[in-house]
Amino acid sequence: MKIGLDIMGGDFAPKATVLGAIEAYKALSEGQQLVLIGDKEQAVSILQENNVSPDHFEFVHTTEVIGMGEHPTKAIVQKPDSSISVGFKLLKEGSIAAFSSAGNSGAMLVGALFSVKAIPGVLRPAMTTIIPKLKGGLGILIDVGANADCKPEFLVQFGVLGSLFAQHVYNVQNPRVALMNIGEEEEKGNILSQATYPLMKESNLINFTGNVEGRDMFGDLADVIVCDGFTGNIILKLAESFYVVTLKKGLKDEFFDRFNYEQYGGSPILGVNAPVVVGHGISSPEAIKNMVLLSKNMVESALVDKIKLAFQ
Amino acid sequence: MKIGLDIMGGDFAPKATVLGAIEAYKALSEGQQLVLIGDKEQAVSILQENNVSPDHFEFVHTTEVIGMGEHPTKAIVQKPDSSISVGFKLLKEGSIAAFSSAGNSGAMLVGALFSVKAIPGVLRPAMTTIIPKLKGGLGILIDVGANADCKPEFLVQFGVLGSLFAQHVYNVQNPRVALMNIGEEEEKGNILSQATYPLMKESNLINFTGNVEGRDMFGDLADVIVCDGFTGNIILKLAESFYVVTLKKGLKDEFFDRFNYEQYGGSPILGVNAPVVVGHGISSPEAIKNMVLLSKNMVESALVDKIKLAFQ
């Protein structure tokens, strides 16, 4: 299995990404090969500084980098030799089985949609994040920003995508899927959530358990919480800001520790024809390692095939 | 000045409300009279248990109570002698200058819209909440649940309402008004926020400073943060849940203390023709006291007149 990593992506690339690749390498099994996509010379130099043989890795040299602030669609088109563009080319060809990057997340999304494309039947691929539960364990929030405006059918599909991800990658049996809303009762909410509820209730692809509210985010009412990408992105960033506050305040607690994005590695883009993971811009080597391992888990669990089957 | 309080509203009513009324009474000046609306016999009994003379208060006896779970519109119509219905009748007549309740918030909203009604020019009255800032001080989030679905013009008006509230009740000079969004740039967001941004930029009734994101909620980029009521309600409840977690974990910190809703008393409904404040269902006597004092501050600052003037 070849696992692709964009070593130019993220605020601390290529140093943090190459150091992360070293850690990921140590965790991989035989037959699992990391493909480092980016400036080979820089990568080799960082490896040598750390007394790690470049022979442990494959390299695909690229000459361009898509910056964090660049317009995703334009950048993908105008920088064909960027690490992100090349990564998706390799992914589409099947030269790598998964691709991950802590770079421009919009470019990652556009790249995924343009190259490996949405799985037939999936109306809108979506991005997920992990939400720690107070009692232990974790939940999944989907979508966290890929789709700012959604139709009810999109949200139902997010439930299916999140459910399959929870089941096959995090081994949650029969995941409980809930709709993020502003009241518990079926008739509560905005037009979107009111229209979505009955569709989710009817779907036999998910174990729908009803509405949850903002206050239920860290409880144990659901394993997968579905919302539009506007709401999900605000929730994600608000939750992150709480974590940052607890860090700043020096508050130590096991629950808050589990907010640390480094442990989860990144947000998968679910519903495209190959495993794609987008890391946090500020990814440390630890985060990069876990991003790579998450993309590997997605390959091993054959998540994409499971999704294809569900949407047949 | 007569200040109306629903003593039947809230999970711990009438005990918590009457005890809160006693505390509020102590904080009022001469000429400021509390009008307790609800079961007079119960109220007098609680006052006597606490060695407080009933003479310090006016009473308007009512025989019905709207429960927390009741359908707002039906309850208002079917229970004309409920404390909420009577409170709004008194407010509409001008027998009281402000009305507050920790009861059914939907019924409070419907009651306000049916009785004192929206100020001419205000498309949709909205509810606000206080958001503590990390550096000290506070910000205002509007709308937190009155309007689940919004048009761009509503959001612009929420900015005006929040701005006037911040200025006249919390003495924030030239409040900075921002739009809650999922990116900093003007073109970012969902259809609603993309359409709202240019309207807010053009408005000469607010000091618009651009988009903020979920991570900026506790920062100092803005004094008033505007969003639709669906998003705002989720943010509010998520933030509350963080506060509850810090309490459960026994974490002591001045910043988290300032999340305590008890200090703020409640959420005003802005844009109606009289001061109306809705308290948290779990309001303690301290919260009730501060809810009453907030409604008094709204009267003293002539906020409703200021809003009328802005929307002329």
B312 vs B309: CA distance, rounded Å: 5
Helix ranges (H only) for chain A are 15-27, 40-49, 72-78, 83-93, 105-114, 152-169, 191-202, 229-248, 254-257, 285-300, 303-310
pLDDT at residue A284 tops 90? yes
Percent of chain A with pLDDT over 90: 88
Cβ-based contacts under 8 A for chains A and B: 107
A306 vs B8: CA distance, rounded Å: 54
pLDDT at residue B91 tops 90? yes
Residue A33: beta bridge partners?
A2
Q: Flag if B148 and A189 touch (Cβ within 8 Å).
A: yes
Helix A303-310 and helix A152-169, axial crossing angle in degrees, nearest 10? 140
Q: Determine the pLDDT at residue A233.
A: 96
Q: Determine the pLDDT at residue B201.
A: 98
Amino acid at the residue B161: L
Amino acid at the residue B274: A
Q: Determine the pLDDT at residue A253.
A: 83
Contacts of A225 in chain B (CB under 8 A): none
Indicate the average pLDDT of chain A.
95
Percent of chain B with pLDDT over 90: 88
B28 vs A109: CA distance, rounded Å: 58
Lowest mean pLDDT among A144-153, A239-248, B158-167, B208-217: A239-248
Residue B2 banded pLDDT, cuts 50, 70, 90: very high
Q: Match 């088109």 to its residue by tokens.
A: A77
Q: Which chain B residues have any C-beta within 8 angstroms of a chain A C-beta?
A: 134, 145, 148-149, 180, 182, 189-191, 193, 213-218, 228-231, 233-242, 244-246, 248-249, 251, 253, 255
First to last CA, chain B: 26
> In the 8-state DSSP scheme, what is residue B263?
G
Task: Give the list of residues 6+ apart from residue A88 with CB closer than 8 angstroms, or none.
Answer: A99, A111, A112, A114, A115, A116
Please report which helix (H) or strand (E) contains residue B126, including its range: strand B126-132
What are the strands of the beta sheet with A126-132, ordered from one edge? A58-61, A33-38, A2-6, A98-101, A276-278, A267-270, A126-132, A138-142, A224-226, A176-180, A207-212
Length of chain A: 312
Shortest distance, CA B120 to any CA of chain A (angstroms): 25
3-state secondary structure of A272: strand
Q: Determine the pLDDT at residue A145.
A: 94
**Cα atoms in the 13 Å half-sphere on the side-chain side of A2:** 15
Classify the C-alpha dihedral B99-B104-B105-B106 as positive or negative: negative
Q: Flag if B233 and A214 touch (Cβ within 8 Å).
A: yes
**Cα atoms in the 13 Å half-sphere on the side-chain side of A152:** 15
Distance (Å) of CA A138 to CA A178, A258, B92, B245? 14, 9, 50, 16
Condensed to tens digits (0 to 9), the pLDDT of residues B228-251 reads 999 999 999 999 888 888 888 888
Distance (Å) of CA A200 to CA A22, A131, A157, A172? 43, 21, 9, 19
| CATH numbers and ranges of domains, chain A | 1-118+272-281 (3.40.718.10), 123-270 (3.40.718.10)
Classify the C-alpha dihedral A82-A85-A90-A93 as positive or negative: negative
Residue B174 banded pLDDT, cuts 50, 70, 90: very high
Distance (Å) of CA A96 to CA A22, A50, A156, A196, B221? 18, 26, 30, 37, 43
Classify the C-alpha dihedral A269-A272-A276-A282 as positive or negative: negative
Distance (Å) of CA B23 to CA A6, B283, B286? 62, 14, 8
Measure CA A45 to chain center. 29
pLDDT at residue A289 tops 90? yes
Contacts of A134 in chain B (CB under 8 A): 245, 248
Q: Flag if A237 and B231 touch (Cβ within 8 Å).
A: no
Work out the number of other CB atoms within 10 angstroms of the CB of residue A253: 14
Task: Give the list of residues 6+ apart from residue A177 with CB closer than 8 angstroms, or none.
Answer: A159, A162, A163, A200, A206, A207, A208, A209, A222, A223, A224, A225, A226
> In the 8-state DSSP scheme, what is residue A279?
-
Residue B255 banded pLDDT, cuts 50, 70, 90: confident
Residue A288 banded pLDDT, cuts 50, 70, 90: very high
